[in-house]
Amino acid sequence: MALTVSEGATGTYTPPEAGTFPARCCALIDLGTQTATYEGETKAARKILVSFEITDSDNRRDDGSPHIVSKRFTASLHPKAGLRKFLEAWRGRPFTAEELKAFDLKTLLGIPCLLGIVHQEKGDRVYANLSSCMKLPKGFAAAPGAVPLVSFDLDAPDWQAFAGLSSRLQAQIAEAPEFAKANPPKTVQLAAAGHAPAAPAPAAIAPPAGAAGSGFDDMADDVPF
């Protein structure tokens, strides 16, 4: 569950080009506790999904809309955690001990970066994988984003935001034990099996259980969050 590829197969969808492109964080989704089996071992862990809009006007979908690429992480800032390594590469420096105490994930929304995209072929499909994230070079202005900022937190659920997610993502979140504990409205539960409405207006997100951290407000000289 390390990577989430952009949708599509060859023939019906052209994935984003491989390379390094400016982007903005456009979605932070709490997936709840998810179970995965790897090499015969089954583990459960709280997961989050971080999505980016590629803002390069020359790297667009066939219909002219921006590409969205995503990556899944275990919701942890443990020294060996992928999320911590990803964020430290993005900001260009390590976390301090104080920052690790109360990191607020919502500070990522709307923040620009440089994303590394690599292609991977499997059968007749070409996947665009998010391979790296870096801060923008000094003097480099990122284009404004076109997609609404979206967030969803199972510890403080905004069901309007949930209703705006894809049915596939809704169904995955609904499998997490935190979903039932959140007492979702019946109409929202039904939405998970049907078509999702348009994306909601921006919503705030609190860090999922197990994620640490605050800081980034004092990073204006490095990245603007």
All structural domains of the chain with their residue ranges: 19-150
36 by DSSP, 3-state: which? strand
pLDDT for residue 225 = 52
Can you tell me the distance from the alpha carbon of 90 to that of 219, in angstroms, rounded to the nearest whole number?
11
Whether the predicted pLDDT of 121 surpasses 80: yes
pLDDT for residue 203 = 35
| Per-residue three-class SS string for 125-140 | EEEEEEEEEECCCCCC
pLDDT for residue 200 = 36
Query: CB of 213 within 8 A of CB of 81?
Result: no
Percent of the chain past pLDDT 90, that is, above it, reads 53
pLDDT for residue 44 = 95
Q: Classify burial at 54, counting beta carbons within 10 Å of its beta carbon; exposed 0-12, middle 13-18, buried 19 or more.
A: buried
Work out the mean pLDDT of the chain and round it to a whole number: 80
Tell me the mean pLDDT in the region 121-146. 89
The sign of the CA dihedral 4, 208, 144, 223 is negative
Q: What are phi and psi of 33, to 5 degrees?
A: -80, 120
Q: In this structure, what is the dihedral angle of CA atoms 126, 28, 66, 216, given to the nearest 10 degrees?
A: -110
Residue recorded with tokens 């049915």:
167
pLDDT digits (tens, 9 = 90+) for 174-222: 999 999 999 998 877 555 444 333 333 333 333 333 333 333 333 334 4
pLDDT for residue 12 = 60
57 by DSSP, 3-state: which? coil
